[in-house]
Amino acid sequence: MTTTTAQAGKVKQRAGDRWFSGTALAAGTMILVTLAAVAIFLIVQSIPGLTATGETASLLSGNFWEYVWPLAFGTVWASFLALLLAVPLAVSVALFISHYAPRRLAQGLGYVVDLLAAVPSVVFGLWGIMVLAPAVQPVYAWLNENMGWIPLFGGTVSNTGRTIFTAAMVLAVMVVPIITAICREIFLQTPVLHEEAALALGATRWEMIRMAVFPFGRSGIVSASMLGLGRALGETMAVAMVLSISNRITFELFTSDNPGTIPANIALTFPEAYGLNINVLIATGLILFIVTFAVNAIARWIVSRRKEFSGAN
């Protein structure tokens, strides 16, 4: 009887299910193995660079940390500025698509926003150099002349417009599709009963959005912003093409003395690097890997917290 019960408890799995389960397990394992291999490679190759000095590596004027600190600052500063510009725009577009636009217009606008994510970063870089930078340079000059007492607008204005703020605007345009797509799907998942209840109580559409949509999608907006930040942190070609780099730590937005970013510095320096300089550049890549991994881990944690909260409710 015990054997019969055990056999009855076993569910026979079909061949297709076994094949799909094995394939999914192999794919997931492959991702973890690849990530571990990349981490091991970066750590092993970075050890000589972390201890390098100006006497052993021509890229360095002092130690490694003096070299990487302006690059790390520039990477985080440019990404933060991009996020500051992109999040309000992306949330506004997502709200328009999900709650204001007619159905046909919303579908077409959604497709256009999604297509922006498919534009190569080189194209954004060319647009930033040839269109955006010349267009905003007079604005920079005006802000510097009339509001130069503000530290962010101080300094000597760049004549080309290729500044950290221009690079941040290009990055903002590049991450808007990612944030918009995620926010749009989350806003569309807002319980209809919550929206109808707010409207039934006499709320306007905007008041309904503040009372029902934003509270429901708050964690989703944060996670979308973090994913956009991860995208901005790793951008290479657009920043390398737009930004005029001097590797100087400064918060001034309109000068030509701009801090560089780690991806752009690697792209510009690696072709001519040799010997221990290669290890130094790989070590800067390790720093970027850690920062990006931390940002994405925080985003996943926020998403999981949102799912747990939704399940509890």
Q: Could you read off the pLDDT of 16-75 as tens digits, one per residue? A: 777 888 888 888 899 889 989 988 998 998 888 888 887 887 888 888 888 888 888 888
In a domain, residue 7? The reply is no
Residue 42 lies in a domain: yes
Give the per-residue pLDDT at 259. Answer: 84
Model confidence at 2, pLDDT cuts 50, 70, 90, reads low
Integer-rounded Cα Rg, in Å, for the chain is 25
Alpha carbons 202 and 124: distance in angstroms, whole number: 45
Is the residue at 140 inside a domain? Answer: yes
pTM of the predicted structure, to 2 decimals: 0.83
Domain count, the chain: 1
Which amino acid belongs to residue 235? Answer: E
What's the domain range around 131?
20-308
Residue holding tokens 């920043």? Answer: 239
Q: What is the CATH number of the domain that holds 172?
A: 1.10.3720.10
Judge whether 5 lies within some domain: no
* In the block, residue with structure tokens 């061949």: 15
pLDDT for 196-234, tens place per residue?
888 888 888 888 888 888 888 887 888 888 888 888 888
pLDDT of residue 88: 93
Q: Is 4 part of a structural domain of the chain?
A: no
Is 309's pLDDT higher than 60? Answer: no
